[in-house]
Structure 1
Amino acid sequence: MTKKLLMFDFDGTLIDSVPDLADATNQMLTQLGKPTHTLDTITEWVGNGARALVERALSGSNNVDARLSVAEIEAAEQLFFTAYAEHDVSKTITYPDVDQGLRQLKEAGFTLALVTNKPIRFVPNILDGLGWTPLFDMVLGGDSLSTKKPDPAPLLHTCKTLNFDPAQAVMIGDSINDVSAGKNAGIETIGLSYGYNYGNDIRDSQPNQVFDNFADLLAYLLEK
């Protein structure tokens, strides 16, 4: 296979972290005296980073209330960060076949990188808890650079840092942000249908390939 660098999204692709994100979101809203929301509702707000999740939660909608002030959003975001630090791995689980699959890909000689929109401060603890820290040659969070997915910069930065041409890379994720980032970077994209993606079918984003489970993705990558 000509592809040597596999760049993975995190939430909704490798891990199901929504229960912890929802707990932290509702704790933030309770502290602010605002209505809380169901797990299904909050699931549709995940994927654009913590700031977007906080803005949507404060608005009670995917459409952010234009009346929210920057000060209000920043104060709420700090409450969210504090709450999430208490919950970030307690309910987070891996999707089926992901743990063994990542290890097989590493053993097969692929270079693995994690490119997520999750704030970087929360990533190492989760990786350590899952025993995945040695698997990834590079880890980028949503605030590691000045821009995040769907901007191509995190993907191109990862390729450059690890000395791979974009033509040798694949971006693997569950949302339109992952697919758009890959397309914007000129990198092949693979979509996974079981993640979040705001309730939309990942196929609508037209990635190069789509798989409904990690086992099928693994077979595809190992057989190429």
Structure 2
Amino acid sequence: MHPMLHDIRLVAFDLDGTLIDSVPDLAAAVDAMLGDHGLAPVGEAKVRDWVGNGSRKLVERALAFALERVPDASALDAAHERFLAHYHAAPCERTRVFPGVREALEALHAQGLILTLITNKPKAFIDPILEALSLRTFFAMTLGGDSLPEKKPHPAPLLHLAAHFDVDPARCLMVGDSRHDVEAGKRAGFRTLAVPYGYNHGEPVSRSDPDALVESLRELV
């Protein structure tokens, strides 16, 4: 095993940008939402830099770009509702598992580690996506951005998992692709490990100073 896993009992994974490349489906839903409002599509490249803070923030960033101003609350509410409808209709048509992820999850699960998932994506989308990609059975618990009052980078979701499974945070590892994952892990007292291929608002995740960085999750086993 990777040295970062020494004495670790629980591993918390981020989803989008860490385990799966979901931007193609997210971008399709964003562009459809913009089309509903008579606005031009923004495409995958823009959306790739905007994800990571939950669906409402994604929609806010897309609207602000398209309108060239910050949308008011009522416009954002309406746009977010349309985005959720489009994404719910096709959450996993072009989403793919990153190379090395399945092998890592299989090996860690076989070794008896408690595998969990903490994403800022709405909870309702998690199981359908995991089921479609045959990943659901690996996780003992999953938390979405609306599962608790706080979401990453707040440490509350991580501490919730540690407490639920009665594991000291010092024996937990947060694995993610963004500064929000690293910050949440550090604030919760978890070890932090990052991957560089995901979504981090256009900046290298190494700048967030994770405890370790791997090019592929395959390196964990």
2:30 counterpart residue number: 25
Alignment correspondent of 2:181: 178
TM-score of the aligned structures, taking structure 2 as reference length:
0.94
Between the aligned partners of 2:93 and 2:215, the Cα distance in structure 1 is 26
Distance across 2 between alignment mates of 1:197 and 1:142: 17
Aligned twin of 2:3: none
Query: Pick from 171, 185, 190: which aligns with 1:187?
Result: 190
Structure 2 unmatched ranges of 5 or more: 1-5
Matches of 1:70 and 1:157, distance apart in 2: 30
The amino acid that maps onto 2:53 is N
Q: Distance in 2 between matches of 1:130 and 1:27?
A: 24
1:129, 1:163 → 2: CA distance? 30
TM-superposition CA deviations, 1:52-84 (whole Å, max 9, x none): 1000000118xx944x21111111000000000
Is residue 85 of structure 1 aligned with residue 112 of structure 2?
A: no
Question: Helix, strand or coil for the counterpart of 2:50?
Answer: coil
The corresponding residue for 1:142 is 145
Partner of residue 62, structure 2? 57
Q: TM-score, normalised by structure 1?
A: 0.93
Which of the numbers 7, 11, 14 marks the counterpart of 1:9?
14
Give the 5 Å matches for 1:114-153. Answer: 114-153=117-156
Which of 83, 94, 97 is equivalent to 1:94?
97
CA distance in 1, matches of 2:191, 2:162: 13
Matched, 1:111 2:114: yes
The runs of 5 or more residues in structure 1 that have no matched partner are 220-224
Count of residues paired in the alignment: 215
Could you say which residue in structure 2 is the equivalent of 1:215? 218
Q: Which amino acid aligns with 1:127?
A: L
Distance 2:69 2:167 in 1: 41
How far apart are residue 44 of structure 1 and its match? Answer: 0.3
Q: Report the secondary structure of 1:112's partner residue.
A: strand
- The C-alpha deviation readout for 1:80-113, integer Å capped at 9, x for no partner, is 0000012201000000011122011100111100
Q: Equivalent residue of 2:116, what SS?
A: strand
Paired position in structure 1 for 2:40: 35
Q: Larger deviation: 19-28 or 162-171?
A: 162-171
Q: CA deviation at 1:8?
A: 0.1
1 CA distance for matches of 2:197 and 2:64? Answer: 26
**Which structure 1 residue ranges, 4+ long, deviate > 2 Å from structure 2?**
none
Calculate the aligned-residue CA RMSD, in Å.
1.2
